[in-house]
Structures are given as structure tokens and as C-alpha cells.
């Protein structure tokens, strides 16, 4: 076997150590983000902030973490910078140090912006690297990558309660060690990615990826964005308000309600991990269809069942609904093979943005019609999944000149 053949074989093999490193980095990144959100009460008390100022902190973070992600991804598509992963984690490192010492509202805004910028750099490029390391198992790679973020988001509030609440604002600086660890891991990942980038490009140039016509791409992206809206608005109703819903409807304790929330989050993690490889086997369109629309009977029943059945339904809803996102991201990457970074940034940015907007909008609605009423209204959101019938089968799409020309740059 020649050296070129060996290199090609290596580029087509699934690199699980790289995927594990990316997933660990995702865990650290999202843990530090959720950590910042979990200490709002501490910041409000220490700095005498109003609720309006708390909202501006969230807005600053959401703008830098959500809106910038597609722009960063678009830049990465044109000029890949694998070592930018460490740079992104460096922004988070600086943000945590600033947050630990912030003694005024403007300082907190600067810290929130740094953490958000770190996230906006991390997600598009790391998703590109996960695809590069997939060896063709794109769904599996996305699932491994994304489940790290789910674990980190759940871990952040627990660490905030265990450490920061007891030791105060200055203890936030201790978590900068996690950012340093992430920078080291991502530097190693960046070195691997730089070495393999040329191999992936050569393979993509040899086997151009077929892409649908531009009109089909625009129509399909509109359907995908509607499905993302349905998914993350409904998830916001459970992530943010499940405890309040259970307390209102069943008069349970906060501890029991938190147990229900934990079951839901565990099911979300399991669904995220399995959704990608299932899509690799049976097709991503089928996973998207089943995950969004298939969950509708359970969401429609949730507001009316008893406490025990409610726990079962929330677990099913979490598992089935979460399995859609890895399939959606990979489906969109295959739809636009020359824009892998931009697509990743768009979808992860929407995940951040719609979650925040959904929580705020549903909170306003809860003030008007009550939290049980919110769950009755949100139960219809998965019916938007009917739009999945409009998604084309990408394996049957004919290549356009534009899609073939872009394929070489987008496979990375």
C-alpha cells in the first residue's frame, strides 16, 4: 500500500479519540456557559442589579453566542482555522476571570460578551472537525459531539450550587482551570485537524458531493428552520418551567419536581447520543419526521395525565425530540456541502437563541394564562413536524454545477 493510500484510508476512518476530545471540550464549554447563567441570583445580590439589567446580560450573551455563530462559520468555510478552537476557549477563560472580579454592571456585560464570543467560535469550527473525524458516520460524530454539550449544560448549575454559592463570586475564577484544560485539548485537536484537512479536501475533490438546486435548498432550509423552532420552543417549556408546572398541577415539592427534570434531561442526553447513528442507518429524513411529529401524541397528552404517567411521558418526549437535532445538523450540512461551518453556526446559534426567546415568551404567556395553559398551548408545537413531508431525499438529488464546485471546500 502506498503512503497516499494509507493517508486516504486514515482520513476515511472514524477517529474516536478526536471525537471524544471534541465532546469533552463541548462539555467544558457548555458547562462554563451554564455556570454563568446559574449565578444570576448571586450577581443580582452582590451588585444590586435590577431584573432589566439581568435581561441585558442575557441579551449580550445571546447576541455574541447566537448571532455571531453563522458569521464565524461562514468565515471558517472560506479560511479554515483549526487552531481557532483554542482561541475561542481563550475568550471563555478571559470571560470567567472578568466575571469573578466584576464589581459593576458594565464589567459583567464585558464578561458575558467574552463567554458568548468563545461559544460562537467554538461551535461552528468544532462541528466541522467532528464531521472531518467521522469517517463517513456523520450522524454518529454529531451525536458524540452534541452529547458533551448536553452533559455540560446539566453540570453547570450543579457546580454553581455546590461551589460558587458557598464560596462567593471570586470562586468563579477556579473554573478558569476548565477553560485552560479545554485550550490544551483543543490545541491537540487543532493540530490533528490541520494535518487531515488537506486529505479531506483531496478526497472531496475526487468524489464531488451532489447537491440540490438552489431553489430546493432555500425551500428545504425554510422547512428545517420551522422544525428547529418547534423543537426548541417546546424544549424551552420543559427546561425552564417543568418544575413550576408540576408544582402547580400536582402540588409536589421542589425536590420531587427536580427529580422529574433530571429524568427529562437524562432522556435528552440519550436521545442526542442515539439520534445521529440511527440517522446514519435509516436515513436522516425519517429520524427528523419521527422525532418532531412522532412526539406529538405524548405532548398532547402531557397536560392531562397523572404524576406518574407525566414522568414517563416527559422521558419519552425528551428522548424522541432530542434525537432530531444531530440528524437536522447533518441533513443541513449535506444540503449545503460547501457551507458546513455556516450551517453548523446557524443551527447551534438558533438553538441558543430560540431557547432564550422561547423561555422569555412563554414566561410572558404564563403570566396571562397560567403555567398549565402554557403546556396546553405548547403541546401543539410538534404538529409543525408535518412540514417534514416536504424535505427532499438528498441521496436522490441531482448535482448542480454550483453544488459540485462547492463540494471540495465543504466536506471538511
Please write the tens of the pLDDT for every residue from 344-365. Answer: 888 988 887 787 788 778 888 8
C-alpha to C-alpha distance for 208 and 405, rounded to whole angstroms: 8
155-167 CB burial, b ≥16 within 10 A, e <16: bbeebbeeebeee
Q: Which residues have a Cβ under 8 Å from the Cβ of 363 and sit 6 or more positions away? A: 240, 241
Mean confidence (pLDDT) of the chain: 83
Task: For residues 159-186, give the mean pLDDT.
Answer: 87
pLDDT at 250 over 90: yes
Give the lowest-confidence range in 23-37, 44-58, 83-97, 214-228.
Answer: 44-58
Q: Which residues have a Cβ under 8 Å from the Cβ of 167 and sit 6 or more positions away? A: none
C-alpha to C-alpha distance for 233 and 355, rounded to whole angstroms: 6
Q: Which residues have a Cβ under 8 Å from the Cβ of 215 and sit 6 or more positions away? A: none
C-alpha to C-alpha distance for 75 and 43, rounded to whole angstroms: 35
Asked whether 74 and 57 are in contact (CB, 8 A), the reply is no
The pLDDT score that the predictor gives to residue 153 is 78
Beta carbons within 10 angstroms of residue 27's beta carbon = 22
Query: What is the set of domains in the chain, with CATH numbers?
Result: 3-206 (1.20.1250.20), 214-410 (1.20.1250.20)
- The band of 403, judged by pLDDT with boundaries at 50, 70 and 90, is very low
C-alpha to C-alpha distance for 321 and 291, rounded to whole angstroms: 5
Give pLDDT tens digits for 361-393. 888 888 889 989 999 999 999 999 999 989 998
**Sign of the C-alpha dihedral computed for residues 394, 320, 157 and 375 taken in this order:** positive
Beta carbons within 10 angstroms of residue 226's beta carbon = 16
**Sign of the C-alpha dihedral computed for residues 247, 253, 255 and 259 taken in this order:** negative
CA distances from 297 to 293, 294, 313, 315, 406 (A): 8, 7, 10, 14, 41
The C-alpha R_g of the chain, in whole angstroms, comes to 21
pLDDT at 28 over 80: yes
C-alpha to C-alpha distance for 367 and 35, rounded to whole angstroms: 27
Task: For residues 391-397, give the mean pLDDT.
Answer: 70
C-alpha to C-alpha distance for 273 and 39, rounded to whole angstroms: 28
258-275 CB burial, b ≥16 within 10 A, e <16: eebbeebbebbbbbbbbb
Cell readout for 351 is: 438553538
The pLDDT score that the predictor gives to residue 6 is 43
In eight-state DSSP terms, residue 233 is: H
Question: 234: closest CA among 367, 369, 376, 378?
Answer: 378
- The band of 199, judged by pLDDT with boundaries at 50, 70 and 90, is low
Longest Cα separation, the chain:
70
Cell readout for 293 is: 411529529
User: What is the value of pTM for the model shown?
Assistant: 0.75
pLDDT at 215 over 60: yes
Task: For residues 288-298, give the mean pLDDT.
Answer: 90
Task: For residues 328-345, give the mean pLDDT.
Answer: 87
- The band of 255, judged by pLDDT with boundaries at 50, 70 and 90, is confident
Asked whether 331 and 288 are in contact (CB, 8 A), the reply is yes
Amino acid at each position: 500500500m502506498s503512503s497516499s493510500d494509507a493517508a486516504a484510508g486514515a482520513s476515511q476512518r472514524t477517529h474516536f479519540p478526536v471525537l471524544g476530545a471534541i465532546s469533552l471540550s463541548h462539555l467544558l464549554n457548555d458547562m462554563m456557559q451554564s455556570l454563568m447563567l446559574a449565578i444570576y441570583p448571586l450577581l443580582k445580590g452582590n451588585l444590586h442589579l435590577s431584573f432589566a439589567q439581568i435581561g441585558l446580560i442575557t441579551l449580550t450573551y445571546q447576541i455574541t453566542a447566537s448571532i455571531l455563530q453563522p458569521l464565524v462559520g461562514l468565515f471558517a468555510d472560506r479560511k479554515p482555522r483549526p487552531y481557532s478552537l483554542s482561541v475561542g476557549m481563550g475568550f471563555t477563560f478571559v470571560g470567567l476571570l472578568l466575571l469573578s472580579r466584576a464589581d459593576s454592571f458594565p464589567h459583567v456585560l464585558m464578561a458575558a460578551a467574552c463567554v458568548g464570543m468563545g461559544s460562537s467560535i467554538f461551535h461552528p469550527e468544532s462541528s466541522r472537525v467532528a464531521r472531518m473525524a467521522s469517517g463517513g458516520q456523520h450522524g454518529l460524530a454529531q451525536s458524540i459531539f452534541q452529547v458533551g454539550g448536553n452533559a455540560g449544560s446539566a453540570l453547570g448549575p450543579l457546580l454553581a450550587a455546590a461551589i460558587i454559592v458557598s464560596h462567593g463570586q471570586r470562586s468563579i475564577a477556579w473554573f478558569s482551570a476548565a477553560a485552560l484544560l479545554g485550550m490544551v485539548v483543543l490545541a491537540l485537536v487543532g493540530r490533528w485537524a490541520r494535518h487531515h484537512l488537506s486529505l479531506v479536501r483531496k478526497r472531496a475533490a475526487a468524489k464531488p458531493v451532489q447537491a440540490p438546486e438552489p431553489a430546493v435548498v432555500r425551500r428545504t432550509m425554510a422547512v428545517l428552520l420551522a422544525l428547529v423552532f418547534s423543537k426548541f420552543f417546546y424544549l424551552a417549556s420543559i427546561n425552564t418551567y417543568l418544575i413550576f408546572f408540576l408544582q402547580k398541577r400536582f402540588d409536589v415539592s421542589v425536590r420531587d419536581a427536580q427529580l422529574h427534570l433530571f429524568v427529562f434531561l437524562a432522556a435528552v442526553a440519550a436521545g442526542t447520543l442515539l439520534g445521529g447513528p440511527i440517522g446514519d442507518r435509516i436515513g436522516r429524513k425519517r429520524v427528523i419526521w419521527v422525532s418532531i411529529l412522532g412526539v406529538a401524541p405524548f405532548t398532547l397528552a402531557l397536560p392531562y395525565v397523572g404524576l406518574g404517567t407525566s414522568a414517563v411521558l416527559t422521558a419519552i418526549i425528551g428522548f424522541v425530540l432530542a434525537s432530531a437535532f444531530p440528524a437536522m445538523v447533518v441533513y443541513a450540512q449535506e444540503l449545503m456541502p460547501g457551507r458546513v461551518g455556516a450551517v453548523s453556526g446557524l443551527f447551534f446559534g438558533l438553538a441558543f437563541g430560540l431557547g432564550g426567546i422561547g423561555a422569555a415568551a412563554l414566561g410572558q404567556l404564563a403570566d396571562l394564562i397560567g403555567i398549565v395553559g402554557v403546556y396546553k398551548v405548547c403541546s401543539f408545537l410538534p404538529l409543525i413536524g408535518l412540514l417534514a413531508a416536504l424535505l427532499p431525499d438528498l441521496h436522490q438529488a441531482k448535482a448542480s454545477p454550483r453544488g459540485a464546485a462547492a463540494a471540495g471546500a465543504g466536506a471538511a
